[in-house]
Amino acid sequence: MAATVLTSCGGAGGSAVAEGGIGGTGVSMGRVTQVGSVYVNGIQYNTDTATFTVDGVANPTLSDISVGMVVRVTGSSDPTAGTGVADTVEYDSLLTGPVDCAFDPIDCPNQLSAMGQTVNINADTVYEDNTGGSRPLIEDLVIGDVIEVSGFTDGETGILATRIEVETSGQNKVTGIVMPVDTTSFMIERLTINLLGTTLSLPSAGSYVEVTGNNPPNPTTLEFTPSSIEILGSGDGTVADDGEEVEIEGQITVGFDGGTNRFSLNSQIVEVLPGTEFEPGSLTSSDLTAGRIIEVEGVMNGTILLAEEIEIEASASEKSEIAGQLGVGNVDLAASTVTLLDQVIQIDNATILENDLGGSSTFALADLISSDYLEATVYDNNGVLTASKLERETLPREALNESFVSERFLSLASKLP
């Protein structure tokens, strides 16, 4: 097949190593990379006896959990085996509501805004159209489309979307940090929540809240009248209780401060200790810069997460894309690899397996057939070409008899053994 150049989207995400897991019993928070059981932070959690909660509603099932959702799992795990047993699985979307800016080159280039919240996307963002195919691509979204967003956020500066679903309808919802305006209103990013005419009380400044309402915001003023306001957790954004073991994946929102040895991951403050281990081992606390996607394992000390291990995931500049038809004999189930354009690509528990052919949101390597068209976002993992995301796609019209590889991939491949 002829090879031509496709410009890479880049994007942060995926996992720098296949290992993960809190060990013993604790809390694990991160995006779902595969389902069948639930794969979070490199661990395949058995969910046979787990209880599920989705957007505050108890008794859903595993079928209500999709790839890309950021979930909270309580249970036990064995990091060496990469397996665990989930006691509970909880999912809460960050927002549901109408798009108010869609890839406008001036106002919101390379991003969306919905419910007054900035929604950033990258190469690992999972996208699903539940409207019957009217918005097959994320760039097809227009103002007024209703979307549900899951991702990483500090509640103040926007969302890095790990999953976006287009819906036909849904209760309007937004989560974030309260910024009071006056005695009857407050803001979450650019959305003004007006309490006039309601019986709701103004939450205190800095509270982390979930706000819902029956009617969408005014599209011009972005003013929203809520029907309910709920303080989330302790209200300060901490992810677990004092003494609990935690593993959390997220985006650094405030970079490392050498004076305090701390940084902010989503809305959780993390402290780097003298014995904190880094993966890859060549990285240090100076690499904990705003925007990086990382996983932190540690123990809660009050409201501070004391980091025992920090895995820094591949950055946008360290990733590239490769795509093409799979071909015959190019899946090795024993080694968990696929071969595209003669390049062997490692698949692990942290690889996002996204199915865009309809039906399930994910797939297994055993499901692949030779005619499948795959798009892989890849990075160099200690000399092994590894996929942070592998998409099973409909063969694009322009890809007939061709395969695509990004310029960045050509540069990456030249450095691999």
pLDDT tens-digit readout, 89-100: 999 999 999 999
Q: Is pLDDT of 376 > 90?
A: yes
Of the ranges 10-19, 91-100, 128-137, 396-405, the best mean pLDDT one: 91-100
Q: At residue 109, what is the residue type?
A: P
What is the Cα–Cα distance from 137 to 127, expressed in whole angstroms?
A: 8
Domains for the chain: give ranges and CATH numbers.
Answer: 2-11+316-415 (2.40.50.320), 17-91 (2.40.50), 95-231 (no CATH), 241-312 (2.40.50.140)
Q: Give residue 228's pLDDT.
A: 97
Read off the pLDDT of residues 249-274 as tens digits, 9 standing for 90 and up: 999 999 999 999 999 999 899 999 99
Report the 10 Å Cβ neighbour count for 330.
20
- Spell out the residues 6+ positions from residue 355 whose beta carbon is closer than 8 angstroms to its own: 67, 361, 362, 363, 391, 392
Mean pLDDT along residues 185-197:
97
Q: Which of 417, 338, 332 is nearest to 378 (CA)?
A: 338
Q: Name the average pLDDT for the chain.
A: 89
Q: Take residue 242 and report the two structure tokens written for it.
A: 């004092």
The length of the chain, given as a count of residues = 417
Report the 10 Å Cβ neighbour count for 334.
5
What is the Cα–Cα distance from 354 to 226, expressed in whole angstroms?
A: 35
Q: Give residue 9's pLDDT.
A: 32
Q: Give residue 17's pLDDT.
A: 33
Read off the pLDDT of residues 35-91 as tens digits, 9 standing for 90 and up: 999 999 999 999 999 999 999 999 999 999 999 999 999 999 998 899 999 999 999
What is the Cα–Cα distance from 70 to 30, expressed in whole angstroms?
A: 5
- Spell out the residues 6+ positions from residue 260 whose beta carbon is closer than 8 angstroms to its own: 271
What is the Cα–Cα distance from 21 to 309, expressed in whole angstroms?
A: 11
Contact by Cβ (8 Å): 177, 208? yes
State whether residue 96 is helix, strand or coil. Answer: strand
Contact by Cβ (8 Å): 32, 42? no
Contact by Cβ (8 Å): 175, 116? no
* Environment class of 354 (CB within 10 Å of its CB; exposed 0-12, middle 13-18, buried 19+): buried
Global pTM reads 0.90
- Spell out the residues 6+ positions from residue 188 whose beta carbon is closer than 8 angstroms to its own: 116, 117, 155, 174, 175, 176, 177, 178, 179, 209, 211
Cis peptide bond N-terminal to 226, omega within 30: no
Contact by Cβ (8 Å): 329, 42? no
- Which string of DSSP letters, residue by residue, matches 200-259? PPPPPTT-EEEEEESSPPPTTT-EE--SEEEE-TTSS---S-TT-EEEEEEEEEEEEETT
Q: Take residue 212 and report the two structure tokens written for it.
A: 């819902």
Beta-bridge mates of residue 118: 113
